[in-house]
């Protein structure tokens, strides 16, 4: 079994507002970029009592909404498509920031504003999906923040000019290795890691904390 993973190392002193989902602690909420003004004739109307408009969204729709809310720093959590209380609160927070009616659901006009705000933040850091030829992984990278590329031990390393931000992929090829094995190994190595968040799921894991003077 081949397992591919990525490690994100970030200097505490040099971390612009990237997606909130990539950090263990909520970052300061970035100012919303200019987005098309809402048409005053098309008012956002609250859904009728007892009716959940989110129930009509596909899983892909929900995932994209959480992704966009993470980029606007409204949402800090796993992007799974599950519309829990945290996601509804994030939608309301976004609506409040733009002085829209706080319904917890996104009318088409609200959804367009959220998508525009998210894209503006992604463009700010040059966010795009990149194919890592060494490991075969496809990974999202803030390319403007990590323009330098170099070989890693078993993958690829991307870094900023002074190394404050580093993203590295690695590959595990040992027969019989499970995701839980890699999770346990990464919790302990390198020595001195101080964990703040550790979560193991059937198909992914998250470890976050401090390593030296950097967040990982």
- Model-level pTM? 0.71
Domain coordinates in residue numbering, the chain? 3-16+145-215, 29-35+44-138
The tens digit of pLDDT for each residue in 138-182 reads 999 999 999 999 999 899 999 999 988 999 998 888 889 999 999
Integer Cα distance of 48 and 51 in angstroms:
6
Residues 5-60: pLDDT tens digits?
655 555 433 333 333 333 333 345 666 655 554 454 544 444 443 345 566 789 99
**How far is it, in rounded angstroms, from Cα 137 to Cα 131?**
6
Q: How far is CA 55 from CA 15, 44, 83, 89, 205, in A?
A: 36, 18, 9, 16, 28
pLDDT at position 203: 87
Total Cβ atoms within 10 A of residue 200: 14
**Contact (Cβ atoms closer than 8 angstroms) between residue 143 and residue 87:** no
User: Residue 122 is encoded by which pair of tokens?
Assistant: 């992604």
Does residue 107 carry a pLDDT above 50? Answer: yes
CB 75 within 8 A of CB 87: yes
């Amino acid at each position: 079994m081949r397992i591919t993973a990525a490690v994100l190392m970030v200097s505490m002193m040099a971390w612009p507002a990237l997606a909130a989902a990539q950090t263990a602690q909520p970052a300061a909420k970035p100012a919303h970029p200019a987005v098309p003004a809402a048409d005053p004739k098309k008012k956002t109307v609250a859904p009728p009592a007892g009716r959940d408009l989110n129930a009509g969204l596909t899983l892909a729709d929900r995932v994209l909404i959480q992704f966009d809310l993470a980029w606007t720093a409204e949402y800090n959590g796993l992007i799974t498509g599950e519309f829990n209380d945290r996601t509804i609160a994030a939608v309301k927070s976004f609506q409040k920031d733009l002085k829209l009616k706080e319904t917890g659901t996104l009318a088409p006009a609200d959804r367009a504003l959220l998508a525009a705000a998210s894209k503006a933040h992604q463009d700010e850091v040059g966010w795009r999906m990149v194919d890592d030829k060494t490991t075969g992984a496809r990974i999202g990278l803030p390319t403007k923040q990590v323009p330098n590329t170099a070989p890693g031990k078993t993958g690829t390393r991307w870094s900023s000019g002074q190394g404050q931000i580093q993203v590295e992929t690695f590959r595990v090829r040992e027969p019989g290795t499970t995701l839980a094995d890699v999770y346990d190994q990464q919790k302990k190595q390198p020595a001195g890691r101080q964990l703040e968040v550790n979560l193991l799921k059937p198909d992914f894991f998250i470890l976050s904390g401090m390593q030296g003077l950097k967040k990982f």
